[in-house]
Amino acid sequence: MEITSAMVKELRVKTGAGMMDCKEALTAENGDFEKAIDFLRKKGMSAATKRSSKAAKDGTVASYIHMGGRIGVMVELNCETDFVAKTEDFQALAKDVAMHIAASNPRYVRSDEIPEDALERERAIYRSQLAQEKKPEKMWDKIIEGKLNKYYEEVCLLNQKFIKNTDITVETLTSNMIAKTGENIVIRRFARFLLGEEL
């Protein structure tokens, strides 16, 4: 199958990956978009995995103020070198992540930060729902796992769909930047302020 420049462009818009990577993925998967996206994700994730052992001690603290000062966000985004920290791409990523936090209101960066008692409370709610729905008990574990994954998408920054491109998660957005820069990039922490919010 012929891979056209329009196909490459469409995949690039969907994934944020580079032109050559998109062409390679489409060629490898015979023009199948879904498989090409998986191909890129695996490639991006493997690049991210290779870099994840490297110390990310440089970076930036970015801020975003929304709705005329009603919502404010600060986020710390780390990378390995000052050189990458000063690039336009890295600074843009930091701003995008801060804007995403303002809009999506995550509570944690990643799922391993959720306290065990909060997870247990969710599981108890799901078990109660399944009992009321009279679902067979042998299916509960699998259903609860699926519901927990949905919960992670709601409360964990990395699991959320990126507001500017809902085809990818914030984790994929970060992985794409890792693949592009060749450095480990970590969203370390954030704070979100809503004017008049109950403390």
Span 63-113, pLDDT tens digits: 999 878 899 999 999 999 899 999 999 999 999 999 999 999 999 999 989
**pLDDT (0 to 100) of residue 84:** 92
What mean pLDDT do residues 160-166 have? 95
Domains annotated for the chain, with CATH where assigned, are 5-51 (1.10.8.10), 58-109+156-194 (3.30.479.20), 115-153 (1.10.286)
**pLDDT (0 to 100) of residue 16:** 62
What mean pLDDT do residues 139-165 have? 93
Does the pLDDT of residue 46 top 60, yes or no? no
**pLDDT (0 to 100) of residue 133:** 85
Strand order in the sheet with 58-66: 58-66, 71-79, 186-194
Q: Is 55 helix (H, G, I), strand (E, B) or coil?
A: coil
**pLDDT (0 to 100) of residue 41:** 74
